[in-house]
Copies of this chain bind each other. A is one copy, B any other.
Amino acid sequence: MDLVKNDFIEFIKQRKSSRNFIYQKIGKETILNILECARWAPSGNNSQPWRVCVVIHPTVKRMLSELSEYGGIIEDAYVNLVIFLDLERGYDRVKDIQAIGAFMENILLGVHAEEDLGAVWIGEIIARKEEVNEIFKFSNDKFELMGVIAIGVVDEAREKTSEKERKRRLLDDFIDWY
Copies in the complex: 2
Complex contact B121–A8 (CB within 8 A): no
Q: Which residues of B contact A3 (CB under 8 A)?
A: 3, 7-8, 11, 113
A42 at the interface (CB under 8 A from B): yes
Q: Which residues of B contact A60 (CB under 8 A)?
A: 178
CB distance from A59 to the nearest CB of B (A): 9
Known: A101-B101, A101-B102. A165 touches B33 (CB 8 A): no
Known: A9-B36, A113-B9. A176 touches B136 (CB 8 A): yes
Contact residues on A (Cβ < 8 Å of other chain), bracket: 35 or more
Cβ contact of A167, chosen from B35, B46, B52, cutoff 8 A: B46
Taken together as a complex, chains A and B put the C-alpha atoms of A100 and B96 apart, in Å, by: 12
Q: Can you list 21 residue pairs at the A/B interface with Cβ under 8 Å?
A: A1-B11, A1-B14, A3-B113, A4-B113, A5-B33, A8-B113, A9-B37, A9-B110, A42-B105, A46-B164, A48-B168, A48-B169, A53-B176, A54-B175, A54-B178, A56-B178, A98-B104, A101-B103, A102-B102, A102-B105, A109-B109
